Structures are given as structure tokens and as C-alpha cells.
Chains A and B, each alone.
Chain A
Amino acid sequence: MLTYTLLAGLLFGLYFTLIGLGLNLVFGVMRIVNLAHGDFLMLGAFLAFWLFSLFAINPIPTIPVAFIVFLLVGFPLYYLIVPRLLRAKDPEMLSFILFFGLSQVIQALATILWGTSERSIPGGQLGRAVAAILSFVTGRTVENGPVDIFGQSFPAAWVASGIASGIGVLLVYWYLYRTKLGYLTRAVMVSRDEAIASGIDVDRISAIAFGFGLGLAAVAGVFAPFLLGSITPAMGAEVTITSFAVIVIGSLGNPLGTLLGGLVYGISYMFMQSYYSSWANLLPYLLLIAVLLLRPSGLLGRQTRRA
């Protein structure tokens, strides 16, 4: 039971890492809080749902589609909203209000379009794709169904989301530390003003980071029907709050902190479910309060936010 709880916590934590990564990237680069982050995740989830419902497209190929679509959506949305916001006296605080409004608009439109009821994708769909991939990689036939990890059986969707999350973390690190764009992005993260003074096209860099953040949210959304049971247009707010707690626990603006925050959250949540199940949903808030009291800059926080 202990091993299962720990492993489930790791996988669940990795999923919340994936959710938090985009939110943290946007905050790190622009110093704004995208309160509509969970709503973009919801849109990604509905994209996967509709592609499956209408065209029987498996959620696995939907992952790159969702990432690219939302990456592209991010560019015009950035230029429409963010530069104006950053010219304000207190963009960090104003971003709360603006993105809260955007969240409400997205939620209302989604409700009009898709109704209020829960929607989901049968779990076997993802399992089938995972089995096919594992069969291809290992060269032997892998049955569709749960995946064994250290003798413990987990839904294929959990393993797939864990892998996707790992890829997401590596992708963010590769982008930040192995590409020229990432080098420039880190410059903006350290000091926007100095980056402008150095001749960096800050808006272009920020727009890419914004699109990247939305793309990661949409990818997390593809897994939502499996990890969160079902999806509704109203699910975004709760997801945003939890992922915000995750990135604050880890450290705002630090992708590695998001990984740590996600794992701390996931493992603690699963242990709470096992031993104090009635109180499990209080956990993100308890962790958030504890971290803010004991280490206000987050578990991996420094006095100056690192890039």
C-alpha cells in the first residue's frame, strides 16, 4: 500500500508539474499571473474530447496538435493583451484581474458551446496507444491495460502523462538552456529592462514563452479526462488554483521548482488520501501556507529569481 501510494504520488505529481510548467514559464518571463491557465487546459481537454468523439482520433496524436494549436493561439493573444498590461504601473496585480476576466469569458463561451455536463474519453483509448508504443519500443507484444511499475499496477494514462510531463520538463530545459531563444528568454527573466536595453526583441521572446505556456497547458488538458475523471467548462479555476499552489511551493519563476512542487504536492496528496482522506483536498492550501510562512520564496527559491 505504501509503495503504491508513493508511486501514485510521483505520477500524479508529475501531472501537476506538467500543468504548472506553463504557468510558471509565463510568470518567470512576464511577471504576470495567468489566471486563465486552467481554462486553456480545459480547452485542450475539449480539443482531445472532440477529436476523439467526432473523428475517433486517439489522444496520443492529439498531444502535438494541441501543443502547436495553442502555441499559435498564444502569439496573437500575447500581442492583444500583455504589452498593454506590462505598460501599467502594477502589471503583476493587474494581471490577476485581467486574466480572471479572460477566464470567465472562456468558461462562459465553453459552456454555451458544449453545455455544463461532464465529458470524458474511455480510458482504454490511451491504454491502446501506450500499448502500441511500448510494443514498438520493446519489440514484443504489450497488452492494452494497466502498466506495471515495481510490481504495482497503474492506469496506462497515468504512465503516459508521467512520460509527457518528463518530456515537458526536458523540453523547457532544452529550450531555456540549449537554444538561442532560451538564452534570450533567460535574459528577459533576469531583467526585462536590461534585455530591452541590450536590443533584445522582448515582445517576440515573451510571445513565444506565452505561446509555449499555453501549449503546455493544452497538452496537460489532453490527459485531464484520464487523470481528473472527467472534464467540464468550469474545471479551469480549480486547476489554476492547485497549479498556482504547486509553483509557489516549488518557487515562482523556476521550472525545476515546479517539478519539486508538483512532486511534493502529488506525494502528499496521495498519502493524505490514504490516511486522512476527508481532508485531502485541503492539502494544496496547507502546503501553500506552510511554505509561505517558512520559506516565502518557495522550496527552491532564492532572493533573486533565477532564470
Chain B
Amino acid sequence: MFGKVRLGLSIALLLSIFGAAYAAEAPKEIKLGTLYASSGRFASISMPVHYGLKLWIEQKNAEGGVFIKAFNKKIPITLVAYDDQSNTATAATLFNQLITQDKVDLLVSDSGSVLTSVGVPIARDNKMFLFDQTGTGSAFFTPDNPYIALMSDPVSSVWPKPLADFITHDGKSLGIKRVAMLYSTNDFTGTQATAVRKFIKEAGTDVEFVYDQGIPTDTTNYAVLINNIRAANPDAVIHLGYAPNDIAFIHSLEDGGVNFKFLFCIYPGLETELLEKNLGVKPLNYIFTYVTSSEIEYEPNFGMKLKEYKELWNKKYAGGNVEFGFNSVAGYNTGLVIEKALSVAESLEQLEIRKAVFSLSGKLKTLDGTFELDANGAQLGMSTPIGQISVDDHGHIKFVTVWPHDVANGKPVYPRP
């Protein structure tokens, strides 16, 4: 009897020793796999996101790594990053490579909906949780896919609500009834166009669409399109495209001497420096846009403030060819969400990581705003008010927030002088 007890105790002791040893066997590194586009159509939105994420990794590694609750210690992060050259086919191959060959612990998408779109099914099929940095296409977030969450930007089906609300509420008093919309047909701006249409229709006002056209994302020439919009005599023009689309569109307006009474574009607010470099300040004056976290000082409860981050960015990438903007903030924000999630995740199992990320919803506030997910991983926080660009006497760009009224700091100028 005594012998059996001693044997049992010995086994229990051995199990506890080896069990503890096994549980404490922390990896030497955490592999973070991601893609970026150093060339092609999406380079200007991809590189700032990538640089922002890299900045976070370098910062954490300088501190000895990121704290992992599952191992109760800091572990350095190894970045495995491939260049998809803005090509979705290449991106699909590289997503597979990150998962099956490199066996990364954390999978982070490239920037934007187009390059993220190919990663969503691959991540789901391989049961890898995808940290979707800025891919806001609403089709990515479905009840049957638990392996995704959007880090920055509201999902595109929600994002343009302030714009539609501004047009149907304040627009009425301004005299906006006839709206023209030109959008690029991709997951990002295509979804935004659908949402604008839906919100305006639901408002039940007498606002009507007098022009509503989709164009390929790689459109570079807008002269005929602008002439057709002008022929429709709209009170307001909404252009939904990526940064190169906005540059070409505004360039074409300026060159053609066309001035719409109200013009909304996405990227003057998201990548202000880039657009200013390309177009100068005058063509941007009075354009309506989203006012993002690269302009608004949010009060974070985790990570640094915008001002500190911008200083760090400028120090790190001074004289570089990548401009500071919303995407620079978004990349760093992804790092902050990862850091916070790893500090609460019980293990590095993918569904446990998901659980940890979702546990931050509504609680985490970074320099990018409040992190808030719906049940499918779509971002509902990180909202962007509607603002109008105002160029001061010194040629500096300022944003006058006009909607929602509770955050507005000025009145819209309409029609555009």
C-alpha cells in the first residue's frame, strides 16, 4: 500500500516537473509574417503601413521583445516580410508561403482591401488568424470566418455613414440635392459606394443620384469622366478611389479648370502629405474628406500619442520617400493591438489569439482611436468625421471638422469658391 502511494507520488512529481518544463518552454522568437508592396498601384498606401509596423517591432525588440502572457516573459519578434508588388496573385502565393513554409505565429495582411482580399480565404482555410490592417471590404467579415479582425478604419459598409449623414442633414440647408458619385470598382471603394447609396436612400430625403459610375481601380485618366459629371450638373460630387485615383482626379479637375460646388475625396484626409506633394495646396483647398487619426489627437490608454509617434516617425524615416499619413498610424496601431492581445492571450493558438483580440473591443484606445469590433471582426470604432480642407494664409493645410456636429469645429464652405 505504502509502495503504491510512493509510486503515485513519484509519477505525480515527474509529471509536474516535466509538465511545468513543457509549459515554460517558450519559443526563442515570435514569427510575424506580413506582406508589403514596394511597387505598383498600392505602394503608396502599403509602405507607410509596413514602416509603421516595422517601427513597432524595432521598438519592442529594443525593449527585449513583446510580453507574452502564455510564457510570462518577453520574446523578440522576427519579421518575415515579402514584397507582393501590388499584385494579388503574388500576394496569394506569399500568404501561402508565410503559413505553410515559414510557419509564422502571427499573420498580418498587406494594406488595403485589394491585397487583403486574397489573404482572407487563405488564412481561413489554414485556420490562421489574420490581422487585417486596413482592408475594410465588408465581404471579408462573415459569421463563418472566425479568423480575421480589422485593426484600423471602420469597415467600408459603415465608414461612409458620416458622409451620407452630412449630405442628407446639413446638405439640405446648403442646397445639395443632386449628387454625382464616381468610384473605383474594388472591395474598398466599391463597398463604400454601396454604403453611401444605402444610407442616402434610407434617409428618405429628396437627394438623388444624377451620376453614379464605377471605373477600374487603375484608371489614370479622368477628363471625359469629369466632363460627363459636369454635364449632369450635380450639387455635390463624391469621388471614391485610392490615392493615385484621387491624385489623377484632382489633377484633371485643376488642369481642366473645373470646379465642383462640393467635392469629397478620401485620400486628401488619409495621405495629406502625399497629395500635397503631388498637387500643391491650392487644388486641395475646400475639398471635403475624412479626418483621420493622423490629424486628430486621440487620448490613448495604450501606446504613445500622435505627436510623440510623429516625432519618432520623422526621426526614423527623415528624408525618406515615404510620407507620414493615416497609413503610417495604422501600421503602428496594428502592432499595438498585437502587443495588447499577446499580453492577455493564454496561448499562441490561433483561436486563443482571436479571443484575446476580441477581448480588447471597446476597451483599447490607441493613437488611432477606439478599437471596437463587431462579432465578425469588422471594425466599428476608429471613426473618421467629415472635414473640409482649409488652406491658411501661410499655405498650411488645416482640417475643419463639419460632421458629426458634436465634434465639429467649424462650418462648411459651400459652394466651393
Contact = CB atoms under 8 A, between A and B. Distances in A.
B303 to A, nearest CB: 26
Contact of A230 (B213, B248, B321): B248
B248 A229 contact: yes
B395 interface: no
B274 interface: yes
Contact of B257 (A122, A153, A228, A270): A153
Contact of B278 (A4, A119, A233): A119
Contact of A156 (B40, B86, B255): B255
A155 B248 CA distance: 13
A193 interface: no
Contact of B222 (A116, A229, A279): A229
A178 to B, nearest CB: 34
Given A116-B321, A117-B321, A155-B223, A127 B255 contact: yes
A118 B39 contact: no
27 contacts: A1-B227, A4-B227, A107-B39, A116-B38, A116-B47, A117-B277, A118-B243, A118-B244, A118-B274, A118-B278, A119-B277, A122-B280, A124-B255, A146-B255, A153-B257, A155-B223, A156-B255, A158-B255, A228-B220, A230-B220, A232-B40, A234-B39, A234-B40, A234-B41, A278-B214, A280-B216, A280-B219
Interface string A276-293: 011111000000000000
A5 B223 CA distance: 9
A115 B283 CA distance: 24
A106 B231 CA distance: 42
Given A1-B231, A226-B255, A280-B215, A115 B322 contact: yes
A228 B255 contact: no
A118 B325 CA distance: 14
A166 interface: no
A296 interface: no
Contact of A120 (B222, B251, B256): B251
Contacts of B278: 118-120, 230
B224 A8 contact: yes
Contacts of B323: 117
Contacts of B208: none
Contact of B256 (A146, A227, A229, A274): A146
B228 interface: yes
A120 B322 CA distance: 15
Pairs A-B, 5 closest by C-beta atoms? A115-B321, A229-B248, A123-B255, A155-B255, A116-B43
Contacts of B38: 111, 116
A194 interface: no
Contacts of B222: 229
Contact of A229 (B221, B224, B228, B257): B221
Tell me which of B221, B225, B255 has the highest count of chain A C-beta atoms within 10 A of its own C-beta.
B255
A134 B270 CA distance: 39
Interface of A is mostly: helix
Contact of B223 (A119, A158, A230): A158
Nearest to B282: A122
B43 A153 contact: no
Interface of B: 37-41, 43-44, 46-47, 85-86, 185, 213-216, 218-225, 227-228, 231, 243-245, 247-249, 251-252, 254-257, 274, 277-280, 283, 320-323
Give the interface size bracket for A toward B.
Answer: 35 or more
Contact of B254 (A124, A233, A269, A280): A124
Contact of A227 (B37, B40, B185, B221): B221
Contacts of B257: 145-146, 153
Tell me which of A111, A118, A279 has the highest count of chain B C-beta atoms within 10 A of its own C-beta.
A118
Contacts of A201: none
Contacts of B86: 234
A75 interface: no
Nearest to A116: B43
Nearest to B223: A8
Nearest to A156: B255
Contacts of A153: 256-257
A274 B86 CA distance: 28
Contacts of A234: 39-41, 43, 85-86
Contacts of B274: 117-118
Contacts of B223: 8, 12, 154-155, 158
Contacts of A4: 224, 227
Given A146-B255, A228-B221, A281 B43 contact: no
Nearest to B47: A116
